[in-house]
Amino acid sequence: MAKKFSLYFLFILLSQNFVKAQEKRILTLEEKQTAAVTVYSIFSQFVVTSKLQKQGLNGISEQQERLFLELFEPNAIVWDDLTPFDFPDKTEKNSKKTVEKLVADYKKYFPGGLIVRILKSNINFDNLADNDVRIVIQRNISGKYPGKYFITNEGAVLELVIKMSEDFTKGKITEIIKIVG
């Protein structure tokens, strides 16, 4: 009896997963192309604006700050990878915070802006049918804190989570997760 019940239970579990697998949205080539263009645009904008300063200028640019924040959902949670530097009033190292708080900290600690180098990147479209795209990046950040320099040499590895619109023409970063670093 117990064996019959176990087999019946296993059959129910497997059939539910099979039904879910068959319900997964099948994307057209056009949808995939649209998503790729949108994600590339978001990532390019992230690379350009994440230093919060305009090319050739010293100091935080309000325009770059605004463009950077527009890439994110409001109150998106991001990893603070400025942790190797010991700020006098920093209570938590390796912390998560909202993107707005992160930008405020960048402005406070690095009024001259940052130098951000993307060392490697990999875009994962495996969950595109669920409107989810992930970009793994390895980056170095450097900047000048009054009287001191800050440099990350190890290259933190982070994952940007992007939630796409149903038609793949828009997307917002919802989270930045620390993987390594």
Q: Where is pLDDT greater, at 102 or 155? A: 102
Give domain status of residue 121, yes or no.
yes
Range of the domain at 91: 27-180
Kindly report the backbone phi and psi dihedral angles of residue 53, in degrees, each rounded to the nearest multiple of 5, phi listed first.
Answer: -140, 155
Kindly state the percentage of the chain with pLDDT values over 90: 43
pLDDT band at 24 (very low <50, low <70, confident <90, very high): confident
pLDDT band at 154 (very low <50, low <70, confident <90, very high): low
Q: Are strands 171-180 and 72-79 parallel, antiparallel or unpaired?
A: parallel
Is the pLDDT at 97 greater than 50? The verdict is yes
Give domain status of residue 104, yes or no.
yes
Give domain status of residue 134, yes or no.
yes
Mean pLDDT of 134-161: 82
Secondary structure of residue 168 in the 3-state scheme: coil
162: β partners:
133, 173
Two tokens, residue 77: 């949670």
Two tokens, residue 60: 């935080």
Looking at the structure of the chain, the number of domains it has is: 1
Give domain status of residue 6, yes or no.
no
Distance (Å, rounded) from C-alpha 133 to C-alpha 120?
A: 17
Q: Where is pLDDT greater, at 70 or 14? A: 70
pLDDT band at 109 (very low <50, low <70, confident <90, very high): confident
Give domain status of residue 15, yes or no.
no
Is the pLDDT at 90 greater than 60? The verdict is no
Give domain status of residue 60, yes or no.
yes
pTM value is 0.79
Q: What is the CATH number of the domain that holds 49?
A: 3.10.450.50
Give domain status of residue 36, yes or no.
yes
Q: Where is pLDDT greater, at 23 or 42? A: 42
Give domain status of residue 122, yes or no.
yes
